[in-house]
Chains A and B, each alone.
Chain A
Amino acid sequence: MIGKIAWKNTWFKPLNTFLSIILLTASVSIISILMLLQKQFEEKFSSSMDNIDLVLGAKGSPLQLILSSVYQIDAPPGNISYPEAELWMNNPMVESAVPLAYGDNYLGYKIVGTNDNYLSHFDLKMSEGVPFSKDFEVVIGANIASNIGLKIGDTFFGTHGDSEEGEVHDHHAYKVVGVLAPSGKVTDQLILSTIESVWHMHDHDHGHHEETAVHHHSEEPHHHEEAVHPHEGKEITAVLLKLRNNMAKMTWQRIVPQNTEMQAASPVLEINRLFSLFGVGISALKYLAYGIMLISGISIFVALYNTLKERKYEFALLRIGGASKFQLLWLVLLESIFLCVIGFIFGIIFGRIGLYFLSVSAQEEFKMAFDPFEFLWKEEGMLFVATVAVGIVAAVIPALKAYSLNISKTLANA
């Protein structure tokens, strides 16, 4: 019954209640969005770099190379010569190597030329159909299948570059032969085909484009010399490497740029650097949100404290009716805790709604989706405890005042 009285009291002063709840909702929703974003972001990044020790690519920013080759976010820093890369790919210290050739997209989804190592390297399963084997056969990521409704047997023309509005390669159509099972990784958003498909697609274009096969070509491909070396003059964008030897992971980062026109970048190193960069921003936002929570605590305190004077008769009345001192203490604490629990629930709900909209726009811009229905039981549990603690701390002084109220004096001076 104390609970019910507290509940009714909470809604009897709707303006005070509203203010406190809004502040709490704001802080809880910001914090929960940040926690979810950080966790899911790091999860997506970390899971995609499983099995990749080093990435071979053109010299330039190593972070750009990692982002473009592992996460398909940035544009690649340039191209590398396939024969040169092959020397390193065939090195005995390499356990597996996945070449990547970019060039085109379909409706904004990247078409990646690679080989079947890609599927095994990322441990990808087919949900329908078979892996690509011939030129111009493609396997599409699960999200593409569901988002634009491509299915097995469909054909489409790629668009040059990485934006939807590029020139359409209408000489060769790609044909969908398989759909990947959802993995939660960037591969859900990719179209995979053979490297040769990408090369052929662009060989054909040479007449109209000075820009060739793969972005920012430095020299014209020499396809007449194919007899000498089958891949002579061919270029690719990057190679994902898994090495047998830990020492090589370190030394190659130094040896490769010293001896070639390429660099070898470590995803772990670069991504940690990236996390620590935006970790600062996330911490700053979190502090802001905790600040709002502190203010909401103060607002609860002020509201409770201000009404104490008019409510002391109410307390005296309860005592006359047989309520104990402890019940009064509990009444005031409960009113504050109610506010905090309501604020927390709204915060969690609004946080999810916010993340949903964020996810929609992130998916449009970065092809990266967040799951708003994930619950971080531990972190959000801690947040709940913290919210309730704010409520208790805010109510302690008013509650003790109610507890130690002198009823006789209160009534005598009424």
Chain B
Amino acid sequence: MLIQENLTLQEKLRILSDAAKYDAACTSSGVDRRGQSGMTGNSSACGLCHSFAADGRCISLLKILMTNECVFDCKYCLNRASNDVVRAAFSPEEICTLTMEFYRRNYIEGLFLSSGVMKSPNHTMEQMYQALWKLRREYRFAGYIHVKAIPGADPRLIEAVGMLTDRMSVNLELPTGDGLRSLAPHKTRKTILTPMRQIQNGIRQDREIPLLQEHTAGFLEEGKARASVTGAGIQKAAGEQQDELLSWKKENAQPLWSQRKPAARMHVSEIGRRFVPAGQSTQMIIGATPENDYQVLSVAEALYHRYELKRVFYSAYIPINEDPLLPALPGGPPLLREHRLYQADWLLRYYGFQASELLDESRPNFNVLLDPKCDWALRHMEQFPVEINRAPYELLVRVPGIGVRSAGRIVQARRSARLEFADLKKIGVVLKRAVYFITCSGKMEYSGKLTEDTITSCLTWGDRKANWEISHQDSFRQLSLFDDFHMNVPPSMEDRFSVVTGQM
């Protein structure tokens, strides 16, 4: 494979950002770090999105590949070895100046560095390490960095890179091991889950033993020392069976929100001494392989519980390559399915839901018309209506139209006085959805039938008039002279003549 040498920076950026655009994760959250004189940059826990591209996705980080040269041949990927595309590579110097100059102009929140596999995973990871080291040490960059770990790279390299970044991610690529075998022949579940486990152990260890000693050795050496400690977990992960994620069953696991750690607060001087402070994430492609939504969501849940991930990203499969193993998608990429999975993902992480509550074997896919929370509520009408002034927080967040923020505000506000429907609206509750499921001081605003079918039709038809007509079929309506009384005047003699002669 030939890398084009004489490309301008502009052409390289075009090629290498175009190649990176299918990666979903572009967040800059999870670490809180103040700036310092002599350094450039800070990081806020909530993350900032600096722009929104024409597809509506946020641009938070400078999302580029180090190189789009790749020895792997994953069927779905633009940069697979068998594709004939122009190959380019950034030098570490170029990555640093681009990041710094974009950052100064407030275009970006930091760098998202991924790469095709150049020569070998280790070689690629080393190149990435060099670029990051330069950026952190020579350019004194204290902004956000997110790096992809290359599957199959040496644990010591992952350790060393993890010291310089805020977030790291290993792409799960496809929800099941079978899918991976057929579409990504060079990757295995083992090479993906092993670094994931290693990063998890590293983060844990980092949290438990903060900054033991003053480090004088280079970071690579330091990485080696730590890697031998975290290595214990790796053997275990490697020994586990193929579909550990899909077959994972929860035994008295705590809801995810109770396990969440607050965003890491760190000092600038701790860069290089804290391992992946903003946690790790992953992403999987939806719609390239025949898994159903229930399987995908169960895998995500297992990842959250077993690997303590911060986020799982879902990326609707976009057909780029033609291959008999890939599905043809005449209706375009499965964007609605992706949207529903994200909605369910938030329900898992912040609303105390479990995958098995939202879906099950008999209904393995999400409702096209209703969001997962409405769908769940309609199937559990026995739990509703909920009294706003008394219900516990855990139940409030399960009501459609009430989010984490508005539930928090309700709990705060009802301490001093009773809440009415008008107050709820101002607090931020979406009454359009919530009104079917709540009472305020025992009163309900919706007066129709409380059955699954009626409410479903009310929720899915946005228009009020249409709703009214559906819930009041065969009741009162405006009479029409012509339809209801068949009042037609019979044609006269002149009318018949005019039909024949054509003179009106």
The answer to whether A and B assemble together is no
Residues of A within 8 A of B (CB): none
Residues of B within 8 A of A (CB): none
